Amino acid sequence: MLDIARLLCGNLSTGEVLRHGRQTATMPSELLRFSQDKKPVVVWNTSRRCNLHCVHCYTESKDKVYPNELSHQEGVALIDQLADFGSPVLLLSGGEPLYRPDVLELAGYAAGRGLRVVISTNGTMITREKAFQIKEAKVSYVGVSLDGIGPVHDRFRGVKGAFEKSLQGIRNCQEAGVKVGLRFTITRQNRDQIEGIFRLVEEEKIPRVCFYHLVYAGRGKHTARIVMEPKETRSLVDLIFQKTRELYQKGLETEVLTVDNHADAPHLYMTLLKEDPARAEEVYKLLLWNGGNNSGIAIGCVDEQGFVHPDQFWRSHSLGNVRERPFGDIWRDTSDPLMAGLKDRKALLEGRCSTCRFLEICNGNFRVRAEAASGRVWAPDPACYLTDQEINAPVPVEAVA
């Protein structure tokens, strides 16, 4: 997760991060990614069931009851495990999490145990009443997925009218005083929607927008139908940089983030280097602390049946089950070769990633994408859009001091 707005337009500094000690327990949520101890943010797919049918759904969810999902009591036990382990954030996801009748009760319990609770939802079920219940449950943030404006979003989500319902869900959250933001997944089918999303953010006064790069999993698998050429991705990231700056120039300090393509970090650094070398070096240090891809390190996933995965896209690879062992024990256990590799992967990476000068701030990007495209977990990530020249030129000495 790359905080484009604060790094490119704001003045986030190493000093501000150091003031909080770089420890998970003492850091505000927006700075957690710079922590030294890297306690994992945990995505819990509370249920696989969903009322929409999105073209890129990594859980391949449908509107049906799935068997053997964690019960309410097992959910409470999971939350206790995460709180005891010191996970800072619980992200309630799905399927559609609000389909699960007890999800806000679980959210309230997690907030009471000191976790910051976030809901990732399609927004269509957030009625006015539900929004106030979300507020009461002390949910810190609601991320609503929108993959385009009007019919584009509906086509993406497989249900006519989904856009209007999601937008109403956003408005209901704002009325109830719940912090709400957008989640947009960039694909070949909606690449022309980014400017419209920025317009919507401005018109609706939405405080945060996250642009997700596609990770090839589930229905979002690696096909020409949905995957973009790296060069196109790069130009869209540049567009996001430009539109973020325009918001700032208008005095709107909207949070803008990109997620799931860690080549964005060196790209942002090189962009800054051309304009303001001193600021670029400060940002480079922050990017080093961020560390690039954190699958198996600072991001983890528990699926609807209690299986633990190195991130939400590794559903094909389980590290254990929270019904049998506490999450913390599973997370610390490096007897699984994939988990051991993800925690310390630099020597395993192949090809251009292995010699890239930006390895420290990218960490080899997304291994799920590499495996989906080539069949090899440690192969280069095909979504990297940096040129060979860019990744091989020496890093300025002051950047790594």
| Shortest distance in whole angstroms from residue 348 CB to ligand SF4 | 12
Q: Select from 257, 262, 219 the least CA-distant residue to 365.
A: 262
Q: How far apart are the first and last CA of the chain?
A: 24
The binder of ligand SF4 chosen from 126, 170, 384, 399 (CB under 6 A): 384
What are the angstrom distances between the C-alpha of 33 and each of 3, 9, 51, 274, 288? 10, 18, 32, 26, 11
| Shortest distance in whole angstroms from residue 4 CB to ligand SF4 | 17
SS3 category, 219: helix
SS3 category, 206: coil
- 233 lines the binding site for ligand SF4 (CB under 6 A): no
| Shortest distance in whole angstroms from residue 386 CB to ligand SF4 | 5
Q: Applying CB under 6 A, which part among 114-122, 160-168, 300-308, 361-369 lies near ligand SF4?
A: 361-369
Q: Select from 115, 163, 107, 165 the least CA-distant residue to 136.
A: 107
| Shortest distance in whole angstroms from residue 219 CB to ligand SF4 | 24
Using CA atoms, how far apart are residues 273 and 280, in angstroms rounded to an integer?
5
| Shortest distance in whole angstroms from residue 227 CB to ligand SF4 | 15
Using CA atoms, how far apart are residues 332 and 296, in angstroms rounded to an integer?
10
- 391 lines the binding site for ligand SF4 (CB under 6 A): yes
- 358 lines the binding site for ligand SF4 (CB under 6 A): yes
The binder of ligand SF4 chosen from 359, 372, 377, 399 (CB under 6 A): 359
Using CA atoms, how far apart are residues 124 and 14, in angstroms rounded to an integer?
39
Using CA atoms, how far apart are residues 307 and 309, in angstroms rounded to an integer?
7
- 364 lines the binding site for ligand SF4 (CB under 6 A): yes
Q: Which of residues 59-88 bind ligand SF4 (CB under 6 A)?
A: none
| Shortest distance in whole angstroms from residue 349 CB to ligand SF4 | 7
Strand partners, 117: 90
Using CA atoms, how far apart are residues 228 and 225, in angstroms rounded to an integer?
9
| Shortest distance in whole angstroms from residue 389 CB to ligand SF4 | 12
- Maximum distance among all alpha carbons in the chain? 56
Q: Applying CB under 6 A, which part among 32-40, 208-216, 309-317, 349-357 lies near ligand SF4?
A: 349-357
Q: Select from 40, 78, 57, 58 the least CA-distant residue to 305.
A: 78
Using CA atoms, how far apart are residues 330 and 319, in angstroms rounded to an integer?
7
234: CB partners within 8 A, 6+ apart: 267, 385
Helix axes 264-275, 230-249, angle to 10 degrees: 50
- 362 lines the binding site for ligand SF4 (CB under 6 A): yes
- 365 lines the binding site for ligand SF4 (CB under 6 A): yes
In terms of CB distance, is 100 or 267 closer to ligand SF4? 267
The binder of ligand SF4 chosen from 3, 304, 371, 381 (CB under 6 A): 381
Instruction: Provide the residue type at 336 as one letter.
Output: D
Structure-token pair, residue 347: 């020597």
Q: Select from 98, 8, 85, 97 the least CA-distant residue to 39.
A: 85
In terms of CB distance, is 205 or 274 closer to ligand SF4? 274
- 356 lines the binding site for ligand SF4 (CB under 6 A): yes
Beta strands in 201-326 (DSSP E): 208-213, 255-259, 299-302, 307-309, 320-321
The binder of ligand SF4 chosen from 95, 97, 266, 291 (CB under 6 A): 266
Q: Applying CB under 6 A, which part among 12-20, 210-218, 236-244, 356-364 lies near ligand SF4?
A: 356-364
- 352 lines the binding site for ligand SF4 (CB under 6 A): yes
- 386 lines the binding site for ligand SF4 (CB under 6 A): yes
Structure-token pair, residue 218: 């589930």
Q: Applying CB under 6 A, which part among 99-107, 180-188, 339-347, 381-389 lies near ligand SF4?
A: 381-389
The binder of ligand SF4 chosen from 82, 236, 353, 399 (CB under 6 A): 353
| Shortest distance in whole angstroms from residue 212 CB to ligand SF4 | 17
Q: Applying CB under 6 A, which part among 72-80, 252-260, 338-346, 383-391 lies near ligand SF4?
A: 383-391
| Site residues (vs ligand SF4, CB under 6 A) | 262-263, 266, 352-353, 356, 358-359, 362, 364-365, 380-381, 384, 386, 391
